Chains A and B, each alone.
Chain A
Amino acid sequence: MLRFTLYRLAQALGVILVVFTITFFLIRLTPGDPFAGEKAMPPDVRRVMEERYGLNKPLITQYFTTLGSYLRGDFQPSMKYQGMWNVKIIKDAFPISLAIGSCALVIALGLGLPAGIIAAVKKNTWMDYGFMSLALIGICLPTFVMGPMLIMTFGLKWRVFNVAGWFEKTDWVLPSLTMGLIYAAYIARLTRGGMLEVLNQDFIRTARAKGVPGSRIVMVHALRGGLLPVVAFLGPALAGITTGSFIIEKIFNLPGLGQHFVSSVFNRDYSLILATVVLLATLLVVTNFLTDVLVAWLNPKVRLS
């Protein structure tokens, strides 16, 4: 297990370095620059700005300088929001996305798992069709339709929640619901698929033949294997859920991290793009690693190989 962990750790660092390098050079290849504004910047001012952020040096020098400061844990200041450190921007925004994402995850699992299990157990009944139709609608409804629909109903019509903003303790409900319902739909379908496959296997038939009660078969014997596709899906999805969604944050005007992923690219904020991409890459690598461990624990076959 130690060798496995160390090997994966080295792999993870390699992946992050590659992502860092590719991002660094790709953003420099795109047209546009961080100092473009509606009013042209006088050449003298531009020179000062370029010097300030080291953009006047050769690209390869900039690369190693940036890499060096990342290794020292310095994620550099933002080029668009001048006077702001990227670390502060991320530190302010990440907890908000994390909070909304976590609640969304709870909603997604809380609705998706039971729906999927019931649909699988009551295969081809009205319950199965009902849940699966709902799930299909959930998958097809994009967040930018779901979000405003929830706002219209709960915000403007019934006035139970704020329509946007991050002020009150209840402000996570609508965004989390918007995100959670869509993930719930995926999870329900994946759970159903996984469960059906396991329920048809020999060891389940054996258990039934031995007289094990139906509920125990489903919850103990089948669920463990049936959850495998969900876990495999959730691992990488977790990184996406917790770092926020651009669209949801836009609709609900949340100061989360999701908007930075997109707006930093539009702004050509070189240093912030790099910081957010490296963060996402790290999260993805970590969640993938955790998924692997979890899958190994859920599925003895993986452990054996």
Chain B
Amino acid sequence: MTKLRTLLPRLCLLLLTGALLASCGGDPISAKEGAEKKIFLVNLATEARYLDLQRCNSVTEHHIMLSLYQGLVCENRNTDTDVEPGMAESWEASADKSVWTFRIRKDAKWSDGVPFTAHDFVWSWRRMLRKDLGAQYSEMLFMLNNGKELYDGKVKEEELGVRAVDEHMLEVTLVGPTPYFPLLACHTSWWPVPRHVIEKYGAICDVMNPWTDEDKLVGNGPFKMKKYLFRQYIQVERNPVYWDAANVKLDGVRFYSIESADVEERLFRRGQLHATYSTPLSKIPDYLKNHPDVARNYTNCASWYFRINTTRGALKDVRVRRALAFALDRSSIIDNVLRARQLPAGGMVPPMKGYTQVKEFSLNLPEARRLLAEAGFPDGKGFPEYNILISKNETARQLAEAVQAMWQKNLGISVGISQQDFTVYLTSQQNLDYDLSWAGWNADYYDPATFIDMWMTDGGNNNTGWSNKEFDQRLADARQCADAAKRLSILTEAEKILMREAPVLPVYFGSRTRLIHPAVKEWQVRLMDNRLWQFMDLQYPPPPSSMDAGLNRN
């Protein structure tokens, strides 16, 4: 029996030692310390799926890549509609804007000190167009002359529309006139990857090639990889050989991957974060009212809407679709459900500089009822019961319930709500296995086309079964148009067709509410919400804020 008595404490001791031996993760760092050491602590809310630049496809990865790499040009620090020099110090275009010449910096280097040349771009773009890479954004490079052909294996690599005239001169030939090419080139798909590193560690397109490991990754951006703790954070540090290193103010950035808004808000209050990714829905009104210096609310370039399966019964009828769109009280949804100062959407494209927005839909009950009656369902009588498909997400559920009530009250029709796991929800949409679905779209690049192109016939993200020749033609025209203003007006025409046909019911343009620590200087309000880490700075000691002292504890 003494055995048992000694065994239990021993077992406990053993387990405890084991527990304490299991090392804790990274170094703790508070927001105050971070400000002192110039290390920016920011949450990106999800784990990066890839660290291979060319395979990246999420917003999270994009934010991280903005610190590690740089393209020919980068987004302008002040405005969304312009660019500033990156790896290229200057550039010029041919008269028809289809051939572009970029002068690559002579002092440019990879973070391991290897000289950076125009050949790096040529090799990277050829890699990007290899089918076996499995990169989701390969299509972006189809605007290179012979881009699609190379992807399909119809031409040789040498025939691709990119050429290194010499070590520091890159000539890019596009399929057609593209006045906005520099803006497009801000997208990660156009950025370079280090050939010398990738080839050293394995096959070029092998997904298990370890070149992206913490100790091997090499980039050309303002920062370089320091620490990668899976599901905790990625930390980058100053890259001393970056061409503009003297003007980089931060010494590092730590990207957290905290998924829960509640957890990140608690961390913020405890003084462990400089910037959250979002704010818990229920706390937004309070933060906006009582801590306006901490809570930053701004519209981001995102559109939220209902997709309609236009191959199903009554939903085939454009009058029904328009009736549903006219019967939505968007302001009420924003004020009572979302409560974060979103903008009501009358069309698909959020406000964008130079673009004439289409404002087709707003609450118009007489029109909605008239259209529904015309379609054969006066006062909603005989209208089949359809379901709104949503993913398992609290906001989506609340919104769907509000819309359900609105349509019931305004049109006398009843709809159900069906909730599915995110992956299932996506698959259902792709297979047209739904009636209406709640969805959102973030801009890939700052141009209205990112919200309109997706609805072309058989587009991979159309998912409504809707197809319209006139609309497709407008998109093709816009792609061939060299005059920027004219191109935008063609896109407006296309959007008008889209709204007239209403395979999609716009509801609101997104906003984001972030909590920003007072130490953060110049958190710019940007529609694309991209952060140019090289231009950011932290102030030490941090100024006081309306929140309690917790934000600045040690």
Contacts and interface: CB of A to CB of B under 8 A. Distances in A.
Interface of A: 30-34, 36-45, 48-49, 52, 77, 80-85, 88-89, 92-93, 95-96, 98-100, 102-103, 105-106, 109-110, 148, 151, 155-156, 159, 162-169, 171-172, 176, 219-220, 223-224, 250-253, 255, 259, 266-268, 298
B272 A267 contact: no
B4 A250 contact: no
Contacts of A155: 266, 270
A82 B19 contact: no
A253 B207 contact: no
A168 B23 CA distance: 9
Interface-central residue, B4, B232, B266, by most chain A CB under 10 Å? B266
B49 A80 contact: yes
Contacts of B22: 95-96, 98-99
A257 B373 CA distance: 56
29 contacts: A32-B421, A36-B430, A40-B430, A42-B138, A44-B131, A81-B230, A83-B52, A83-B207, A92-B230, A92-B231, A95-B23, A96-B22, A102-B15, A103-B19, A148-B262, A162-B272, A163-B263, A163-B266, A164-B266, A165-B28, A165-B272, A167-B26, A167-B27, A168-B28, A169-B24, A223-B4, A255-B25, A255-B230, A255-B231
A82 B4 contact: no
Contact of B134 (A49, A163, A255): A49
Contacts of A96: 22
B18 A99 contact: yes
A163 B20 contact: no
A250 B51 contact: no
A245 to B, nearest CB: 15
A148 B47 CA distance: 23
A45 B26 contact: no
A52 B135 CA distance: 13
A110 B269 CA distance: 33
Interface string B415-444: 000000111101110100000000000000
Interface in B45-64: 47, 49-52, 55, 57
Nearest to B442: A38
B141 interface: no
B279 to A, nearest CB: 16
A39 B461 contact: yes
Contact of B421 (A82, A85, A259, A266): A266
B16 A102 contact: yes
Contact of A156 (B1, B138, B266): B266
A42 B258 CA distance: 29
Nearest to A110: B12
B4 A224 contact: yes
A82 B550 contact: no
A41 B151 CA distance: 15
B1 A220 contact: yes
A82 B50 contact: yes
Contacts of A253: 258-260, 263, 267
A158 B423 CA distance: 41
B335 interface: no
Nearest to B26: A167
B484 to A, nearest CB: 26
B186 to A, nearest CB: 18
A23 to B, nearest CB: 17
Contact of B16 (A36, A103, A169, A171): A103
Contacts of B208: 77, 83, 85
Contacts of B136: 37, 39, 41-42, 45
B8 interface: yes
Ranked 4 nearest A-B pairs via Cβ: A40-B460, A32-B423, A102-B15, A99-B22
B16 A166 contact: no
Nearest to A249: B231
Given A163-B266, A250-B259, 18 more contacts: A40-B460, A42-B138, A42-B460, A43-B460, A83-B50, A83-B51, A83-B207, A85-B208, A95-B23, A105-B15, A106-B16, A148-B262, A151-B266, A171-B24, A223-B4, A250-B263, A255-B229, A255-B231
B289 interface: no
Interface of B: 1, 4-5, 8, 12, 15-16, 18-20, 22-28, 47, 49-52, 55, 57, 131-136, 138-139, 151, 207-210, 212, 229-232, 258-260, 262-263, 266-267, 269-270, 272, 421-424, 426-428, 430, 460-461, 463, 550, 553
B122 to A, nearest CB: 22
Given A95-B22, A102-B15, A110-B12, A224 B1 contact: yes
A163 B423 contact: no
A106 B12 contact: yes
B230 A89 contact: yes
Contacts of B26: 167
Contact of A167 (B24, B266, B424): B24
A34 B423 CA distance: 8
B270 A163 contact: yes
A39 B429 CA distance: 11
A175 B19 CA distance: 13
Interface-central residue, A31, A100, A110, A252, by most chain B CB under 10 Å? A31
A253 B451 CA distance: 35
Given A33-B423, A39-B136, A41-B136, A159 B553 contact: yes
A177 B383 CA distance: 55
B424 A32 contact: yes
Nearest to A267: B423
A98 B19 contact: yes
Nearest to A172: B19
B66 to A, nearest CB: 19
A48 to B, nearest CB: 4
Contacts of A148: 262
Contacts of B139: 42
A259 B231 CA distance: 10
Contacts of B1: 220, 224
Contacts of B52: 83
Nearest to A263: B259
Contacts of A110: 12
A31 B134 contact: no
Contacts of B20: 99, 169
Contacts of A52: 134, 207
A100 B51 CA distance: 30
Contacts of A41: 136, 460
B269 A156 contact: yes
Given A40-B463, A81-B49, A224-B4, A166 B24 contact: yes
Contacts of B423: 32-34, 36, 266-268
Contacts of B51: 83
Contacts of A168: 24, 28
A122 to B, nearest CB: 21
A52 B209 CA distance: 13
A82 B460 CA distance: 22
Contacts of B57: 37, 39
A176 B18 CA distance: 14
Contacts of B25: 165-167, 255
A81 B132 contact: no
